[in-house]
Amino acid sequence: MYRTWMRFFSPVPAHQRLGLVCLGVGLQHGRLPTVGPRTLDHHVAVVISSGTGWYRTADGRRTTVTAPALLWLTPGVPHHYAPDPDTGWDEGFVDFTGPATAAYRELGYIEPDRPVVPLSDAAGPRTVVARIVRAARRGNPLLEVETAAAVHELLVALRRARADLAPDGNQVLEALARDACTPMSVADHAARHGMTTAELRGAVRRAAGCSPKDYLLGVRLGRAKELLAATELPVAAVARRVGYDDPAYFSRLFTRRVGVAPVRFRARQGRAVPGGWSDHVPDPGDPPVIQSSDTP
């Protein structure tokens, strides 16, 4: 015996331009029937919350699936899977498609070559699936946009829940961010961690979905934007603060990557920050309060 609930959607072209759209969502529990062999033309994330089963690839290799786990069903890739016939499993699935899937694959959030992904905890992804289920009520005028936004959130939740990645931080990335504005090459950063450049490149690619050079540049430019927006430091001083001794080179790089020159960015975003700038991330439950000048 098993229980199943599912809804399927047909987003119009205007919704397709959101980048990701949800095509369906479902919750299933128990001794579910075998799926496949079959091949789909869209992506499906199957989140297994409890139970065990198996997944078989097109070449016949069989992998044991033990909850919590994620099954990636990707376009054009044959798949064949089922829960243990004696115990069954508990699953939630989300079908989705859109041009943004290419970027998520490049960043490592979707892994076609890794159809079975162990999770440390399925609670986060299942919370997002439940949100899509609630949005799927009949007559919801926000259905397509609400579920499309939730697919982005689901991909983040699945990445955070992966058993092979730290959910709230990565020592290599934290160290790179801390030292990003110092005059160190990628090779220098690798040596500091006792890695080869290739090993560092692989570690950063797995954790952040980009190269060490791009990651460091992103940190530098982010800090430069903060300084331009919240201080009156000259552009040359901002350049030095983020690791560039040549202000002209910094300005060219900033303009190429951001799309506007530093002075133009400051003109658009600049503002005085009462009480000074802080790198401290506020607690959402206790947001900062700006007191008036007459407050004792």
pLDDT of residue 270: 62
Distances (CA, A) of 121 to 57, 88, 270: 25, 19, 42
* Pick from 176, 160, 88, 86: nearest CA to 125: 160
Task: Give the 3-state DSSP-derived string for the chain, with helices as H, strands as E and coil as C.
Answer: CEEEEEEECCCCHHHHCCCCEEEEEEEEEECCCCEEEECCCCEEEEEEEEEEEEEECCCCCEEEEECCEEEEECCCCCEEEEECCCCCEEEEEEEEECCHHHHHHHCCCCCCCCCEEEECCCHHHHHHHHHHHHHCCCCCCCHHHHHHHHHHHHHHHHHHHECCCCCCCCHHHHHHHHHCCCCCCHHHHHHHCCCCHHHHHHHHHHHHCCCHHHHHHHHHHHHHHHHHHHCCCCHHHHHHHCCCCCHHHHHHHHHHHHCCCHHHHHHHHCCCCCCCCCCCCCECCECCCCCCCCCC
Q: What is the mean pLDDT of each run of 10 residues along the chain (296 residues)?
A: 90 92 96 93 96 91 95 94 94 96 91 92 95 92 95 94 70 86 89 88 82 91 91 92 93 93 87 57 66 51
Q: pTM for this one?
A: 0.76
Determine contact, residues 108/205, Cβ cutoff 8 Å.
yes
* Domains along the chain with CATH numbers: 2-161 (2.60.120.280), 172-269 (1.10.10.60)
Of the candidates 247, 220, 219, the one whose C-alpha atom is nearest the C-alpha of residue 233 is 247
